[in-house]
Structure 1
Amino acid sequence: MQASNAGRLLSSQLGAAKAFYAVVITTLLLFWLNQDSISLYCQQKYHQSCELPVLGQSPAWRMGGNLTHALGDARDSFIDSLEKRSEQVLVAKVESSDTVELPAPIPVVPVHLDKPPVAAQVPVSKPVAVKVATPAAPAAAPTAPVAQAPLQAGTVVSLAAGDEVFLVGDSLMQGVAPHLANSLRKRYQIKSVNLSKQSTGLAYPGFFNWPQTVAKTLESEPNIRLMVIFLGPNDPWDMPQGKGKPFLRFKSPEWEVTYRQRIDSILDQAREHNVQVIWVGPPNMQKPKLSTAMAYLSGLYEQQTGLYQQHYVSANPVLGYNDDSFSYTLQNAQGKRIKTRVDDGIHFTTTGQKLISERILSLIAFPGLTVTGH
């Protein structure tokens, strides 16, 4: 009896050991394949290099990351090939619809004036399919830029019917964007493209690359005529340069040069696609260190947008802040204090979000468009 119990115990221990071994192997395999994603998350979360000192440089260990990248590239290539194939099939169908049938040519029968005409036997043949090429549309001649009508007092940009607005930013924009998009749609029938994403900025393009996202979006959405940008709190940290390189210290000359270049890359895309820009500077924060960093970044946004003849607006006056002041509330026109910031001292209440949305709207002129509602 004791031997039987001992056997069952041993069997149970062996089963538990196998399960533990399987869990360990699976965990290591997941880390091996997703090492780059884990490293990027760690950098963005703790703002320092998270590579393992020895293991991170091992060719066998790096093979896992390379394999994941290769699989991702193969997936993207496969999807691209499917899209191209679909386009080719569509073009072939369109071209085949241009084929029309013409009757066979009627043979010419010679007629002699000195003899009565003889009725000719004209053979009847089946119609002949003839491919008729569709004439190509003439290339549009380059047009001279159209002079913009004078803007209304207080506005800096204008939108017309059919224009769209591109909303870019982090969790600050995520709160404001729905109100702004809703007002644009309901009042002026202006559509928005909202790609705001929390925990993003310009300091960690490996985690999320805003310049690249802006370039792709402006290329694929030709109706965008205005881009509104609102970000900053995720950026005042040391910045990674690349694998194996030391981080750039926040506010150092090298850090600032790199950060300005990323601002410029977004503004370059706007200029290339003839898109107006309103860059919203982040407001003061509850924590003095973060608030000072926001003031520094806002200075960079204001300087670079000015160089590109685009438009900068600070969120501070909207919330009633002067200099480096901070308050969770704002006194409204009726003398009542309303809460505009949530308890983390960074984000906004619904009231704060709507105030910033309305400030952005006040900078936009809508010539020729009728307001349909509020």
Structure 2
Amino acid sequence: MTAFCAAMVFAGTLLAAVGAAEAKFYLPMPRPERAEPPKPAPGTRTEGPFNVVVLGDSLGDGLWAGLYRVFQGDERFNVIKHSKVASGFVRSEYYDWNKEVRRVLDEERVDIAVVIMGTNDRQVIVDQKGARHALRAKGWEAEYRRRVQRFTDDLQAAGAQIYWVGLPVMRSERFGGDMQYFNEIYRQEAASQGIPFVPTWNQLADGQGNYTAYGPDLRGRERLLRADDGIHFTLAGYQVLGSVVAEQIRHDVSKGFATARAVPRPNEAQAEEEAPAKEEASETLKSAQAAPIEVPELRPGRADDWSWPLR
């Protein structure tokens, strides 16, 4: 009996010790102190409102609509549309973006410039000397790069933060081949000037990088995202496109945008004088030249109908 009682006492002591250990193990840890958010660098600001100005062609129209809805309720951003349907860098006699961007800068304070361009540029280009160059020819690429450089120079001289949005995947492989060619030019020019290039090709493709008309919307629901022409988007699709751009803008704003304005932009005469030097510098960049592609069968009114005269 005595031995039994001793065993019971020992067992009770052991259980108490285990219980105490368990109780100690499950005690809540001290609450960690909250880390202070990183402070923006000197000479930058994270508070809005920021004027987000969308510049581009018909895809720019849709991207503006998407960004407007994605930023809705975020008082830091004021989304402004300055896009032009059927425009581009090639047909300057129809719409000269190198002149129009100066007009926009005179009319608006452009804090953030969102640019998407290219679907109407599969055409012969006429250089400063009046020479005509076919798409993808060396002279075509040199003149096209010159116009892109002048465009971004003006925006940067006005102190705008530029986001160059890459063209999305297209249904037509032949049309898409030219869009990839343009994307490589934009990517190289953006990199040479410290401009963020926002890729969208894979972000709006299927798991294998191919075109798909359907995909998840911003709520994860399977929706029709692309228009019947295989180029443009539905409103749901433009919101997905806008969210890709908005994500990078919000990330950069949280770190702080420079508030200091750049040097005054050169006048048009100065820009023309600087053009040859820019062209020579651009020769050092890797050419975006790709293998020739077949010309697709055209249908009047489509964005890939680059025939001239217009039908």
The TM-score bracket by the shorter chain reads 0.5 to 0.7
Residue pair 1:167, 1:192 contacting (<8 A) in 2 also: yes
1:235 matched residue in structure 2:
121
Residue pair 1:167, 1:228 contacting (<8 A) in 2 also: yes
- The amino acid that maps onto 1:251 is R
CA distances 1:150-195 after superposition (whole Å, capped 9, x unpaired): 6xxxxxx975323311110111111120231344353125223311
Q: Which runs of 5 or more structure 1 residues have no equivalent in the other structure?
A: 1-147, 151-156, 370-374
- The amino acid that maps onto 1:273 is A
- Structure-1 separation of matches of 2:127 and 2:70: 40
1:209 matched residue in structure 2:
96
- Structure-1 separation of matches of 2:148 and 2:242: 22
Residue pair 1:284, 1:321 contacting (<8 A) in 2 also: no
- The amino acid that maps onto 1:237 is Q
Where relative contact order (Cα < 8 A, 6+ residues apart) is larger, the structure is 2
CA distances 1:349-368 after superposition (whole Å, capped 9, x unpaired): 11110001111111123449
CA distances 1:255-291 after superposition (whole Å, capped 9, x unpaired): 0000011111111012211111111111121111110
- The amino acid that maps onto 1:360 is V
CA distances 1:18-62 after superposition (whole Å, capped 9, x unpaired): xxxxxxxxxxxxxxxxxxxxxxxxxxxxxxxxxxxxxxxxxxxxx
2:175 matched residue in structure 1:
290
1:319 matched residue in structure 2:
204
- Structure-1 separation of matches of 2:146 and 2:128: 16
Query: Counterpart of 1:299 in 2: which secondary structure?
Result: helix
Q: 1:165 to 1:159 in 2, by over 3 A?
A: farther
1:181 aligns with 2:72: no
Give me the identity figure in percent.
22
TM-score (norm 1): 0.52
Matches within 5 A, 1:216-227: 216-221=103-108, 223-227=109-113
Of stretches 319-328 and 356-365 in structure 1, the one that deviates more from structure 2 is 319-328
Q: 1:321 to 1:213 in 2, by over 3 A?
A: farther
Q: 1:182 to 1:352 in 2, by over 3 A?
A: closer
- Structure-2 separation of matches of 1:275 and 1:340: 31
- Structure-2 separation of matches of 1:241 and 1:234: 17
1:343 aligns with 2:234: no
2:40 matched residue in structure 1:
149
When Rg is computed on C-alpha atoms for both structures, the one with the higher figure is 1
Residue pair 2:64, 2:79 contacting (<8 A) in 1 also: no
Equivalent of residue 273 in structure 1, options 158, 166, 173: 158
- Structure-2 separation of matches of 1:340 and 1:208: 29
Q: 1:259 to 1:193 in 2, by over 3 A?
A: same
- Structure-2 separation of matches of 1:335 and 1:164: 29
CA distances 1:316-339 after superposition (whole Å, capped 9, x unpaired): 233134676211112569986422
- Structure-1 separation of matches of 2:175 and 2:255: 43
Number of residue-to-residue matches in the alignment: 214
Matches within 5 A, 1:1-374: 149=40, 160-184=47-71, 186-221=73-108, 223-241=109-127, 245=130, 247-321=132-206, 325-331=210-216, 337-365=222-250, 366-367=253-254
TM-score (norm 2): 0.62
